[in-house]
Structure 1
C-alpha cells in the first residue's frame, strides 16, 4: 500500500482502540480468517472454521457489539474553507443547495466518518489459542508467521477522503440546511460536487466488515532470551575457532569482539535442531500477541509507491 494512506491507518488504529482497515479497503474480513503480510499486502490464506482447524460449535461468536461512535469520526488536516448557498438552475425547481468546500492541509490529510459501528468477536479466544498454536504450526500446518482475525467491525455506512496534495479540496452539496460542519462530510444527503487533488474518495453504503483486530503468532520471550544468550556465547567461541582454524595470513585480530545481535530480525525457530519443535513442545516456543502499530507499518513497505 502506498505511503499516502499511512497517516489514516495510524490514526485509525489509535482512535478506534486497535482496529486496522483491511488492505485493500473494499475486502471483507471475518472472525477466524488467517493471513500473512507479504510485500505490504494482506494475503488471506483461510479461515480456522472453514478449514476445520476449530470445530464451529467449540467457538463462541458474538455479533452486534456496539462500538463508541465518537471514536469512528475523525480527521487530520481537514477544515472548512467555504460555506454558501446555490439555487438550482432547473427552471421548474426552486431548491436551494447548501454547499461546503472542505480544504486539506497537506498530502495525506484525510477525513473519515462512520455511522453505527458494530463488532463481531470470538469471545472464547483464550480457550482456543493453545490448540490453534499446535494445529497451525505442527499438526495441520507449519506456519512460523501468521495472523488470526479475532474481531471485525462494520458500520452502516462510512466515507473516507484522502488528499493527494496540500491544495486538495472537496466540495459537497446538500438540499438540507443548517448542517453542522462536523456532520456535513458524512451526512446522508450530501453529494460530491467537485474534487481537486483528492487521491482517494469512497463512500461505503453497505454494512461490510472491512476493519479488524488480530492476534499474531510470536516466539515466547523466554526462548528468545535463551537463544540470544547462547548466540553471544557461540560468537565468542567462533572467534577462537577462527584464530585456530585459518591462517594468520588471512586475518589476524588477537582480541576479536563478539558480534552481538542488533535490531535485525532473528528467527529462533530457524536455529532449532531437527525434531526439537514438535506438537509436544510447540507451546514452549509460540504464543499469541496483539497487533501493534509495527504491524500497521508492515502494510507500507516501499514497493514502488511514492512516499
Structure 2
C-alpha cells in the first residue's frame, strides 16, 4: 500500500516542473513549513513564521500568482473503453441526458489526475532569508542536519485523483452537465461515481487547499563533501591498521576499506569536534538546494529485499 502512489508522485514532479504533492495528501503545506522525511512520511515540525524564526516584517509573501503552462492533467496506464451520452429517468417527468465514461486501469498504481485553476503562494524574497535560516535552523533555534523548508504552495480550484489497485480496476463516472462529443469528464466538479471495481484510491477535492509545493533542503557544501570523504577514508585506513596491530588472531597482510554509501556528509558532521560547527562556521558547511526526484523516492522506502 505504501508504494501505491509512487507512479503518481514521480509523474507529478516530472510533469509540473518540480512540484510535489503533500504526503499524506490530506496534509496542507504552507510557505515556511519545515519538515523531515521519516518512514516515507513528511513530518511537519513547525513554521519559520509561526515560530518567529523569521519576523513578519522581514518576509515578502507573493499571492494569487497563476502558474503558466499546461493544466495539471496527466495519467499513467489508464484507458477509456467507453465514453458517451446516455438517457435516464429521474424523480420528475420525462427523461434526462447525461455523459458517462468508464476508466480502465492497467495495473497497481496506474492513475489519472485532473485539476483546474492553479494558483501559487510563495516566499518572494527567499534569497534574503536563506543564510540566516541556515544559522537559525542548525545553531540558534534548532540543530538540524537534515530539514526541508516549503518555499511555494500551489492550490487548485478543484482536483481529482484515482489510483487503481489491480490490472482489472475500473471506475464508471457520469455527469449531467451539457457537453457535446466524446469529451473526458474525469475531474469535472459535478461528476458522480456510478460504480468502481478495485480502485484503491479515489478522491475529489473541491476546496482550495495547499496540497502541492516546492521546497528547499539543507545540504552539505560541495567543497566540504570532498574534504569529508578524504578524511573518512584516511581515518578508516588508520583505524584498520591500528586494529590489526591491537588485536590478535586476525590476518595482517592487507587493509580493506569498503566503499562509501549513502550521504557521507551528514555522518561526518555528527563526528565533528565540539564547537567546530557553530553559528560562525555554519555557512561554510551548509547550503540550500531544491528538493528533487531523489527526495520524492525517499517518500517510498522499500522494505526488505
| TM > 0.5 | yes
1:18–1:292 CA contact under 8 A, matched in 2: yes
SS in 2 for 1:72: coil
Equivalent in the alignment of 2:16: 16
Q: Structure 1 CA distance, aligned partners of 2:181 and 2:2?
A: 32
Structure 2: tracts of 5 or more residues without a match: none
Secondary structure, counterpart of 2:138 in structure 1: helix
Q: Distance in 2 between matches of 1:46 and 1:69?
A: 32
Contact 2:83 2:182 in 1 (8 A): no
Q: Is the counterpart of residue 55 in structure 1 residue 55 in structure 2?
A: yes
Distance 2:142 2:101 in 1: 54
SS of equivalent residue, structure 1 residue 99: strand
* Per-residue CA distance 1:161-196 (angstroms, 9 max, x = gap): 101111111111122354565631122332211111
Structure 2 residue matching 1:156: 3-state secondary structure = strand
Question: After superposition, what is the alpha-carbon deviation per residue over 1:64-90, rounded to whole angstroms, capped at 9, x for unaligned?
Answer: 111136241111111111134332233
1:263 aligned residue: 261
Gaps of 5+ in 1: none
Distance 2:288 2:176 in 1: 51
The 5 A counterparts of 1:174-193 are 174-179=175-180, 183-193=184-194
1:252 aligns with 2:261: no
Query: TM-score by structure 1 length?
Result: 0.93
Deviating runs (4+, > 4 A) in structure 1? 179-182
Which SS does the other structure have where 1:3 is aligned? coil
Write the mapping of 1:198-209 to structure 2, written as runs, cut at 5 A.
198-209=199-210
Q: How does 1:137-176 map to 2 (within 5 A)?
A: 137-176=138-177
SS at match of 1:268: helix
Aligned to 1:108: 109
Q: CA deviation at 1:260?
A: 4.2
Q: Per-residue displacement from partner, 1:226-275 (whole Å, max 9, x unpaired)? A: 0111121222222332233223xx20222223x14422343121110011
C-alpha separation in 1, matches of 2:85 and 2:287: 59
CA distance in 2, matches of 1:291, 1:236: 34
Report the 3-state secondary structure (helix = DSSP H, G, I; strand = E; otherwise coil) of the residue aligned with 1:183.
coil
State the shift of 1:35 in Å: 0.8
Contact 1:136–1:143 (Cα < 8 Å) also in 2: yes
Q: Distance in 2 between matches of 1:89 and 1:14?
A: 44
Partner of 2:282: 282
TM-score, normalised to structure 2's length? Answer: 0.93
For residues 187 and 10 of structure 1, what CA distance do their matches in structure 2 show? 24
* In 2, Cα distance between equivalents of 1:179 and 1:20: 34
CA–CA distance in 2 between the matches of 1:106 and 1:156?
29
Mapped contact 1:80–1:181 kept (Cα < 8 A): no
